[in-house]
Amino acid sequence: MLTVDFSRFPLAPGDRVLDLGCGAGRHAFECYRRGAQVVALDQNGEEIREVAKWFAAMKEAGEAPEGATATAMEGDALALPFPDESFDVVIISEVMEHIPDDKGVLAEMVRVLKPGGRIAITVPRYGPEKVCWTLSDAYHEVEGGHIRIYKADELLAKIREAGLKPYGTHHAHALHSPYWWLKCAFGVDNDKALPVRAYHKLLVWDIMKKPLATRVAEQALNPLIGKSFVAYATKPHLPRVDAQ
């Protein structure tokens, strides 16, 4: 289940991609399939080891084209272990809402992104997220949990302040908002509640089968209750300075 829309965020074979805070690796895997040179980085060592196993399995199965590479590594988003201007593309999905120093993370992403490079940032959308916070303290008051809710204008302002130029936005995963509202209403750790179990089955069916009816419904509902807000931006080229 991808949050980044690659029809709006073009990726060329050979692009060097950083999936920052990659988690289980869903965007990193898609970039690898598209022929990129991918680095998946996360501070969670257990998840990184699992991502590395999947990269190896994908290579063995021939899922990635010739020339594509994939590396999984532990790292700190506030101190990225890469030289300046190392990547053509940076993706950070559902991460910034967890990090106190979000401006510091943005600065690091801008530092390692090449001029003309592209960045995709996704965060929980304000409205659906606010409902979750209202229904349940346990949803966000956990170690490593969400510490802020972004309004779209606030996130875009921070992106601009970091030196990036936004070029597009959209919302995603409308069908997932009711699931999380149910989880918060019945208890975030209570997976046995009948409404939660029933809706989870619906989501699994939707992800596996991709029926037209739910695709159309989600597209229609995304502007209203999309769970994620997605922003795309570029790093401008510096003005040319002629030698005196």
pTM of the full predicted structure?
Answer: 0.94
159-204, pLDDT tens digit by residue? 999 999 999 999 999 999 999 999 999 999 999 999 999 999 999 9
Residue 48 lies inside a defined structural domain of this protein: no
Domain-located, residue 95: yes
pLDDT in tens, 55-93: 999 999 999 999 999 999 999 999 999 999 999 999 999
Give a yes or no: residue 28 inside a domain.
Answer: no
Across 59-74, b (16+ Cβ under 10 Å) vs e yields eeeeebeeebebebee
Residue 102 domain flag:
yes
pLDDT, one tens digit per residue, over 11-43 is 999 999 999 999 999 999 999 999 999 999 999
Nearest-angstrom CA–CA distance, 81 and 94: 21
Q: Domain containing 95 — which CATH number? A: 3.40.50.150
| Region 139-167 average pLDDT | 95
Cα separation, 185 vs 190, in Å, equals 10
Number of domains in the chain: 1
Predicted pLDDT at 13: 95
What is the β-pairing status of strands 69-74 and 37-42?
parallel
Residue 85 lies in a domain: yes
| d(C-alpha 199, C-alpha 183), whole Å | 10
- Domain assignment present for residue 38? The answer is no
- Domain range for 167: 76-173+226-235
The sign one gets for the Cα dihedral 115, 121, 126, 127 is positive
What was the pLDDT predicted at 164?
Answer: 98
Q: Which two tokens stand for residue 162?
A: 């970091």
Specify if 35 maps to a domain: no
In a domain? residue 82:
yes
**pLDDT grade, residue 239 (50/70/90)?**
low
pLDDT tens-digit readout, 105-137: 999 999 999 999 999 999 999 999 999 999 999
Strand, coil or helix: what is 100? coil
